[in-house]
Amino acid sequence: MAEHTIGAHEETRRDFLYVATGAVAAVGAACAVWPLIDQMNPSADVLAISSTEVDLGPVEVGQQITVKWRGKPLFVRHRTEADIEEARAVPLEDLKDPQTDAERVEKPEWLVMVGVCTHLGCVPLADQGDFNGWFCPCHGSHYDTSGRIRRGPAPENLTVPGYAFTDDTTIVVG
């Protein structure tokens, strides 16, 4: 093969074979790596238990219960009229993550949210902080009576999960 001489820069069929072989090997390696990466994602059994039913019957006005959902605390709060009024009165321009109270509830008296601070994941404490809602002790985030971030390092409001009322006193979350 004459084109094999050192320093010849002509493109040859051999160059093509090198590149093609390399490309196939790279794609093959990438395909083999994917299962090794994906095995770390939530597995089927973890995904399977990801919806939870909550009975609201026993929760009095002004009371909050915490249930475990997907390994995290879920806050279910039976809000008082005052809580709701206060949440509605806040002008949107005062909010870091603007959302009206109505967007965050199915029924105004029931506030359902993931009890995980949107900063770095601690569980905020109820009935504390400067906005009568929740306070996260880890790095000082204050949430209001609608669970919206008002002060501190957290970037977003407490997450409202997808949920639906199956009857007047039961919700299914997730």
Partner 1 sequence: MESLLNIGIVRWFDNRLPLLSYTQHHMMDYPAPRNLNYAWNFGSLAGLALVIQIVTGIVLAMHYTPHTEMAFDSVERIMRDVNYGWLIRYIHSNGASFFFIVVYLHVFRGLYYGSYKAPREVLWWIGLVILLCMMGTAFMGYVLPWGQMSFWGATVITNLFSAIPLIGTPIVEWLWGGFSVDNPTLNRFYALHYLLPFVIVGLVVLHLWALHHKKSNNPLGIDYKGPQDFIPFHPYYTIKDAFGVGVFLIVFAAFLFYAPNYMGHPDNYIPADPLKTPAHIVPEWYFLPFYAILRAIPDKLGGVIAMGLSIGILFLLPWLDTSRVRSATFRPVFKWFYLLMLIDMGILGYVGSQPAEGDWIWIGQLATAYYFIHFLVLLPLIGWFERPRPLPDSIAKPVLAAGPVPGVGAAHDKA
**Residues annotated as part of the active site:** 139
- Both tokens assigned to 102: 């109505």
What is the residue type of 71?
G
Distance of alpha carbon 108 from alpha carbon 171, whole angstroms: 14
**CA-based R_g, the chain, Å:** 27
Q: Quick one: what does residue 61 bind among partner 1, ligand FES, none, with the CB cut-off 5 to 8 Å set by partner type? A: none
Q: Which is nearer to partner 1, 15 or 94 (CB)?
A: 94
Q: Which is nearer to partner 1, 12 or 151 (CB)?
A: 151
Q: Quick one: what does residue 141 bind among partner 1, ligand FES, none, with the CB cut-off 5 to 8 Å set by partner type? A: ligand FES
The region of 94-102, 105-113, 114-122, 125-133 touching ligand FES under the rule CB under 6 A is 114-122
Going residue by residue from 128 to 157, which x/- string records binding to ligand FES, judged by CB under 6 A? --------x-xxxx----------xxx---
73 touches ligand FES by CB under 6 A: no
- Both tokens assigned to 17: 């074979």
Q: Which is nearer to ligand FES, 118 or 146 (CB)?
A: 118
**CB of 143 closer than 8 Å to CB of 81:** no
Cα-based angle 14, 17, 20 (whole degrees, multiple of 5): 150
Element (H, E) at 78: strand 72-78
